[in-house]
C-alpha cells in the first residue's frame, strides 16, 4: 500500500511544475520587461505563452496517453519540462523566451491531466480522492514556491534563476518516473493482462490483485475504444459535468488572484510593494493549507459536499471583496481585500480546485478516458487563457467592483449547476462509476 504513495509523490511532481511554471513568470517579468524592452503587447505574449502551450498540449495529450500509455507520456513531459526550463533561463531574446515558455506550456497542459489520470488508475477506491488530490496539493506548493523563489531572487533581478530552478522538480519527475510502473488499467486495456496483474500485485494486497483485474477486464470488455465513442449518448452527461466544472473553475476568477494578487492588493490601497508581496504569500499559504484540509475530507465527506461548500464560500468572499472595493475608503479596502481574498482562495482550495481534477479522473469510461479528459482539460486551459488575457483590461475599464461581482454571479450559477448534475464518486471503484452511465460507447 505504502508504495502507492511513493509513486504518487513522484507523479505529483508534475503538479508542482504546473503550479511553479504558471506562477513564476509574473515575478520574473518585472525584470525581463526592461531587459528585453518589451512592449505591453509583448508582455502579454510572454505571460500567456505557457497558457497557450498548455491549451495545445491538452488537445494532444489524451490521444497520446491512450495510445502509448500514461507513464510514457508523463516521462515525455519530464523531458519537455527540463528542456523548457533550461532554455528559458538562457533566453537571449523575447522570441527565444516565448518559444521556451511554449514548450513548458505544452508539458503543463499534458501533465495537468495525465498525472491525475495515472494517479486515479493506480489508486485503491478507498483513498483515491486523497491520492489524486495530492496532485492539486503539489500545484499549490508549486505556486507558493514560485512566490518564494521570486522573492528570493528579487534582489539583483536574477530572473534567469527564477525560471531556471524549475529544472530541479523536472529532473525528479523524469528520473522518478523511470522507476514507477505503468497504469494497470491502461495495460489491461491494451491487452497486456499479465503485466497489469504484475503491477496490481505490487500495489495491492495479494488477494485483491486478481479480483481487481477481473473487474477492470469486465468493464473494459463492455465498451469499444474509439474516439467517436465520445459522441455516444451515455457520455453526454459526464462530458457536460467535466467541461462545465472546467470552465467554472476558471471563470469564477481563481487565476486573476493567483496571477495578479499583488496588483489587486495595490489597487486596494495597500501601502508599498513589500506589503502586497507579503499579502500574496498569505494567499499562497491559505491555498496550501486548505488543500490539505480538502485532502483529508475528500474520501470521508465526499466530493459533492466539499464542492458545494467551496462554491458557496467563494461567492460570499467575492461579494465581500466587491463591497470592500465599493466602500472606497483605502485603509478599510486593503483590510477587506486581504481577508476576502484569503477566504476566497481557501474556499477554492477545498472545492473547485481539487474536486475538478479528481472528478474528471473518475467519471469517464476507461475506453475513452484519455480523450474525454483531454476535452475537459482543453476547456479548462482555454478558459484560463481567455480570463488571463481579458482581466487586466476588465479591471482597468470597468473597475474591480464590476469584475468581482461578475465572478460572484457566475459563482451562483456554478453552485446551481454543481448541485444539479455533479454525482458523488467517493468510495466507488472506477468500474462502478463507469456502469452508472450505462453502455458508454
**Number of residues in contact with ligand BGC, rule: CB under 6 A?**
14
DSSP-assigned letter for residue 228:
G
Instruction: Report d(CA 177, CA 171) in Å as an integer.
Output: 10
Phi, psi of 271 (to 5 degrees): -80, 125
- For 315, the grid coordinates are 461567492
User: Considering the complex, what minimum distance in angstroms separates the CB of residue 373 from ligand BGC?
Assistant: 13
User: Considering the complex, what minimum distance in angstroms separates the CB of residue 48 from ligand BGC?
Assistant: 13
User: Considering the complex, what minimum distance in angstroms separates the CB of residue 345 from ligand BGC?
Assistant: 8
- The torsion of the CA quartet 97, 112, 280, 345, rounded to 10 degrees, works out to 150
Instruction: Report d(CA 51, CA 71) in Å as an integer.
Output: 23
Residues 107-166 that bind ligand BGC (CB under 6 A): 136, 139-140, 143
The contacts of residue 279 (CB under 8 Å, 6+ apart) are 261, 262, 265, 270, 338, 341
Specify the residue, 141 or 440, whose C-beta has the smaller distance to ligand BGC.
141
Specify the residue, 365 or 411, whose C-beta has the smaller distance to ligand BGC.
411
User: Considering the complex, what minimum distance in angstroms separates the CB of residue 336 from ligand BGC?
Assistant: 22
- For 113, the grid coordinates are 491531466
Burial (0-12, 13-18, 19+ Cβ within 10 Å), 92:
exposed
Contact string 212-251 vs ligand BGC (x = CB under 6 A): -------------------------------------x--
Sign of CA dihedral 6, 114, 248, 105: positive
User: Considering the complex, what minimum distance in angstroms separates the CB of residue 357 from ligand BGC?
Assistant: 6
Contact string 71-110 vs ligand BGC (x = CB under 6 A): ----------------------------------------
User: Considering the complex, what minimum distance in angstroms separates the CB of residue 162 from ligand BGC?
Assistant: 18
- Cβ-contact 319, 278 below 8 angstroms: no
Specify the residue, 255 or 441, whose C-beta has the smaller distance to ligand BGC.
255
- Our finding on whether 53 is near ligand BGC (CB under 6 A) is no
User: Considering the complex, what minimum distance in angstroms separates the CB of residue 428 from ligand BGC?
Assistant: 23
User: Considering the complex, what minimum distance in angstroms separates the CB of residue 420 from ligand BGC?
Assistant: 22
Residues 248-277 that bind ligand BGC (CB under 6 A): 249, 254-255, 258
Specify the residue, 263 or 326, whose C-beta has the smaller distance to ligand BGC.
263
User: Considering the complex, what minimum distance in angstroms separates the CB of residue 89 from ligand BGC?
Assistant: 22
Query: Could you tell me the CA-to-CA distances from 96 to 57, 84, 86, 162, 434 in Å, in that order?
Result: 19, 10, 12, 17, 45
Segments in 154-268 forming alpha helices (H): 159-164, 167-178, 184-189, 193-203, 206-221, 236-251, 254-267
- Cβ-contact 283, 345 below 8 angstroms: yes
Specify the residue, 216 or 258, whose C-beta has the smaller distance to ligand BGC.
258
Specify the residue, 18 or 404, whose C-beta has the smaller distance to ligand BGC.
18
Specify the residue, 36 or 356, whose C-beta has the smaller distance to ligand BGC.
356
- Our finding on whether 384 is near ligand BGC (CB under 6 A) is yes
Specify the residue, 146 or 209, whose C-beta has the smaller distance to ligand BGC.
146
User: Considering the complex, what minimum distance in angstroms separates the CB of residue 233 from ligand BGC?
Assistant: 29
Closest CA to 126 of 436, 438, 432: 432
Sign of CA dihedral 279, 284, 288, 294: positive
Specify the residue, 123 or 249, whose C-beta has the smaller distance to ligand BGC.
249
- Our finding on whether 183 is near ligand BGC (CB under 6 A) is no
Query: Could you tell me the CA-to-CA distances from 425 to 168, 299, 363, 377 in Å, in that order?
Result: 35, 9, 8, 19
Contact string 308-347 vs ligand BGC (x = CB under 6 A): ----------------------------------------
What string of H, E and C letters represents the secondary structure of 21-63? HHHHHHHHHHHHHHHHCCCHHHHHHHHHHHHHHHHHHHHHHHH
- Cβ-contact 8, 74 below 8 angstroms: no
Instruction: Report d(CA 216, CA 298) in Å as an integer.
Output: 23
User: Considering the complex, what minimum distance in angstroms separates the CB of residue 360 from ligand BGC?
Assistant: 11
Sign of CA dihedral 305, 310, 316, 319: negative
Residue number closest to ligand BGC, CB atom: 353
What is the contact surface with ligand BGC in residues (CB under 6 A)? Answer: 22, 136, 139-140, 143, 249, 254-255, 258, 287, 353, 357, 380, 384
Amino acid at each position: 500500500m505504502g508504495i502507492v504513495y511513493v509513486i504518487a509523490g513522484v507523479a505529483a511532481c508534475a503538479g508542482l511544475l504546473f503550479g511553479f511554471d504558471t506562477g513564476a513568470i509574473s515575478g520574473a517579468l518585472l525584470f525581463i520587461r526592461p531587459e528585453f524592452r518589451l512592449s505591453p503587447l509583448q508582455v502579454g505574449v510572454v505571460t500567456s505563452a505557457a497558457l497557450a502551450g498548455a491549451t495545445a498540449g491538452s488537445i494532444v495529450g489524451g490521444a497520446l496517453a491512450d495510445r502509448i500509455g500514461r507513464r510514457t507520456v508523463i516521462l515525455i513531459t519530464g523531458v519537455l519540462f527540463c528542456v523548457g526550463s533550461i532554455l528559458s533561463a538562457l533566453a537571449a531574446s523575447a522570441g527565444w523566451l516565448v518559444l521556451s515558455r511554449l514548450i513548458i506550456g505544452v508539458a503543463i497542459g499534458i501533465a495537468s491531466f495525465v498525472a491525475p489520470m495515472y494517479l486515479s488508475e493506480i489508486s485503491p477506491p478507498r483513498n483515491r480522492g486523497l491520492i489524486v488530490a495530492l496532485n492539486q496539493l503539489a500545484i499549490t506548493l508549486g505556486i507558493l514556491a514560485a512566490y518564494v523563489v521570486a522573492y528570493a531572487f528579487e534582489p539583483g533581478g536574477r530572473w534567469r534563476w527564477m525560471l531556471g530552478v524549475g529544472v530541479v522538480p523536472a529532473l525528479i519527475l523524469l528520473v522518478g518516473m523511470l522507476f514507477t510502473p505503468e497504469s494497470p488499467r491502461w495495460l489491461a486495456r491494451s491487452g497486456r493482462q499479465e503485466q497489469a496483474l504484475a503491477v496490481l500485485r505490487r500495489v495491492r494486497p495479494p488477494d485483491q490483485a486478481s479480483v481487481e483485474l477481473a473487474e477492470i477486464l469486465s468493464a473494459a470488455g463492455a465498451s469499444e475504444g474509439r474516439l467517436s465513442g465520445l459522441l455516444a449518448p451515455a457520455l453526454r452527461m459526464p462530458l457536460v459535468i467535466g467541461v462545465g466544472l472546467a470552465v467554472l473553475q476558471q471563470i469564477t476568477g481563481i487565476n486573476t488572484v493567483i496571477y495578479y494578487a499583488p496588483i489587486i492588493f495595490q489597487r486596494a490601497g495597500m501601502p508599498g510593494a513589500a506589503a502586497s508581496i507579503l499579502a500574496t504569500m498569505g494567499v499562497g499559504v491559505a491555498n496550501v493549507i486548505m488543500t490539505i484540509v480538502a485532502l483529508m475530507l475528500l474520501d470521508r465527506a465526499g466530493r459533492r459536499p466539499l464542492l458545494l461548500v467551496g462554491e458557496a464560500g467563494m461567492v460570499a468572499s467575492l461579494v465581500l471583496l466587491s463591497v470592500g472595493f465599493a466602500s472606497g475608503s483605502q485603509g478599510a479596502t486593503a483590510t477587506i481585500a486581504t481577508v476576502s481574498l484569503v477566504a476566497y482562495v481557501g474556499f477554492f482550495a477545498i472545492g473547485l480546485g481539487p474536486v475538478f481534477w479528481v472528478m474528471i479522473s473518475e467519471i469517464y469510461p476507461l475506453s475513452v478516458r484519455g480523450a474525454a479528459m483531454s476535452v475537459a482539460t482543453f476547456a479548462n486551459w482555454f478558459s484560463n487563457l481567455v480570463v488571463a488575457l481579458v482581466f487586466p483590461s476588465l479591471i482597468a475599464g470597468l473597475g474591480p467592483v464590476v469584475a468581482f461581482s461578475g465572478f460572484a454571479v457566475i459563482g451562483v450559477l456554478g453552485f446551481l449547476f454543481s448541485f444539479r448534475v455533479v454525482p458523488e464518486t467517493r468510495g466507488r471503484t472506477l468500474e462502478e462509476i463507469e456502469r452508472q452511465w450505462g453502455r458508454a460507447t
